[in-house]
Structure 1
Amino acid sequence: MTLDLLPLHRKGIISSINFDAVPLKLIEIGCLPGNEIEVLHIAPLNDPIYILVNESHISIRKELAKEIVVEII
């Protein structure tokens, strides 16, 4: 499943990323295959989503979240 479909407060492991679509900054903070990721909050209109990855909190658009494939833990 992609990150935009990960339920609120659920954790997952990143299995793959579209490196062409994901900004370098997101990769630098640890958004890489094998790392744990969690959806902490979803904005009222369902975009953006607030995530925790590699001890960093970041807000990303759902369009970008569709480029990150995760497996639910």
Structure 2
Amino acid sequence: MWNDQHQVVMGTSGSRGAPSGRAIWQWSGEQWDLKLIQSENNGVAGDPPSLPGRFKGQLRATPCVETLAT
């Protein structure tokens, strides 16, 4: 959902938190394009959603994944 400042507002669903942040993907009509990363603890975007979008412009959030310390 977008608020008045066009920031992504995430809801909660039980214990499905994203401890390393979240990646926001937008369906172009052909593929998922990464639009925004809200990273915490050096998280990076994981894979895009596995299923195609239902309509052009659809947004999906996925958890970021932690990076390995080097």
TM-score (norm 1): 0.29
Structure with the bigger percentage of strand: 1
Greater helix share, 1 or 2? 1
What TM-score, normalized to structure 2? 0.29
* Greater Cα radius of gyration, structure 1 or 2: 2
Larger relative contact order (C-alpha < 8 A, sep ≥ 6)?
1
